[in-house]
Amino acid sequence: MARLELQRVSKLLANRQVVLQDIDCTVNDGELISVVGPSGCGKSTLLRCVAGLDKITSGDIRIGGQRVNDLPPQQRNVAMVFQNHALYPHMTVYQNLAFGLRVRRVARAIVDARVRRTAVRLGLEALLGRYPRELSGGQRQRTALGRAMLREPGVFLLDEPLSSLDIPLRAEMRRELSALHTALGTTMVYVTHDQSEALSLGQRVVVLADGQIQQIDTPDGIYKEPSNRFVAGFVGWPPMNFLDGDWLENSGLDAHCIDYGIRPERLLLQPSSSADAFIAGRLERIESFGGEWQVEISRNGSRVIARVAPNPELRRDNELRLWFRREDLYAFDRATGRRLQG
C-alpha cells in the first residue's frame, strides 16, 4: 500500500509536442481515483509514466514517499492492467497468473499456493488449465486482475480495463472491481474515457484534457461544481446545455462575455415559484427512454436538450417553454472558459 504523488509532472515527445503538462496530483493511501478525459488527452500516458514504461520530461513521481523517477518499472511497486488484458496467449491461466513470480524465481511451492489462493478469490480455480482464447471476456479480465494482484503492489494502475467488455458485463465487473478495492484496500488509479464509469467508481475523479488537469474532486463535486466549461460539458449525460445570447434575450441576464450553461435535468416543463425564468424554442425531437423523455428544442440553429417526465401533450414543431431556476445556471467566462461564481 502506498500513497502516490505527482509533482509538476510533464512529458514532451521528441518533436516537442506536449503530452502532459504540470500534472499535480496526490492519491491517498488506499484511495481509488479515476482519471477521465477524451481520447488523446494523455491519460494512458500518465499511467505509463507512473508505471515507468514511459519516461517523464520533468517533475517528480513519488510512490510511498520514495522518488521513483529513475527506477525501472519492476522496482516501482506497481501493477498494471491493460484494456486488452495483455494475457500471454501461449500460457494457461495458471501460467499467466504465475508469470511474475516465475520471472522473479520464487520457489514453485510458494508460487503454486499463491496462484491458487488468488484464483479462488477471483473464481478462476476451475479455469486454471485453460488458455486465454478459451475464456470469456470477463474471465480474461479477472485473470489479468489476478496477475496484477499476485504482484501485491502498492499501487494498482488500471488502463480502461473494462472497455473491451460488453455493457451488462461491464456493470458487473465494475461492481466486482469496487468490491475488490474495498477488500484489498490498495491504492488504485483507474483510467477511463467513460465519464459515468469514472464517477461511479472513483472516490475522487481527475478530469484531464489536452495533457492538463482540469479538475480534481469527488464525483459529486465534479458534477455539481465543475471548475470550467470543459468539465461541465464533459461530465453528465446528456451533456450540459450552453446557452448563447439568443436564448436569454428575455431573461435580463448579461450574456455578453459570459457563457451560461444548464443541465438537461434542471429544465422543467412548468413554471414554479422558484423556476421563474424560461427559454423558448421549437420542439424538434422527442426521445423516449421509458420512464423519462429527452426533448430537444431549437432556436436559430442552436439546440437545447431537457430530461423531463413523459408528457403526452407535447407536440413536435410546437413552441415549447422550458423553465428553470436562475441559481441552476452555470456561468463561464467566455474567453477563458473558467467558471464564474456567484
Q: How far is the CB of 147 from other proteins (least distance, A)?
A: 8
Residue 149: exposure state from Cβ atoms within 10 A (0-12, 13-18, ≥19): buried
Q: Is 293 in the site for other proteins (CB under 8 A)?
A: no
Please state, as a whole number, how many other Cβ atoms lie within 10 Å of the Cβ of residue 55.
Answer: 10
Read off φ and ψ for residue 143, nearest 5 degrees.
-65, -45
168 binds other proteins (CB under 8 A): no
Residue nearer to other proteins on the CB measure, 46 or 297: 46
58-63 and 66-67 beta bridge pairing: antiparallel
* 256 touching other proteins, by CB under 8 A: no
Residue 15: count of CB within 10 angstroms of its CB: 5
Nearer to other proteins, 157 or 267 (CB): 157
65 in contact with other proteins (CB under 8 A)? no
Determine if 142 is a binding residue for other proteins (CB under 8 A): no
Q: Which three cell numbers stand for residue 63?
A: 510512490
Encoded one letter per residue, x for contact with other proteins by CB under 8 A and - for no contact, window 24-53 reads ------------------------x--xxx
What's the closest the beta carbon of residue 189 comes to other proteins, in angstroms?
Answer: 14
Q: Which helix (H) or strand (E) holds 26?
A: strand 18-27
Q: Are 323 and 276 within 8 A, CB to CB? A: yes
- Secondary structure of residue 242 in the 3-state scheme: strand
Please check whether residue 101 is in contact with residue 111, taking contact to mean a CB–CB distance below 8 angstroms: yes
Cβ contacts of 122 within 8 Å, gap of 6 or more: 142, 143, 145, 146, 149
User: Does 107 engage in binding with other proteins (CB under 8 A)?
Assistant: no
The residue within the footprint of other proteins, chosen from 14, 16, 89, 272 (CB under 8 A), is 89
C-alpha cell at 80: 498494471
* Residue from 15, 16, 65, 72 binding other proteins (CB under 8 A): 72
Distance of closest approach, residue 22 Cβ to other proteins, in angstroms: 25
Does position 130 interact with other proteins (CB under 8 A)? The reply is no
Query: Residues 3, 71, 82, 121: which binds other proteins (CB under 8 A)?
Result: 82
Site of interaction with other proteins (CB under 8 A):
48, 51-53, 72-76, 78-80, 82, 84, 86, 88-91, 99-100, 103-104, 133, 147, 151
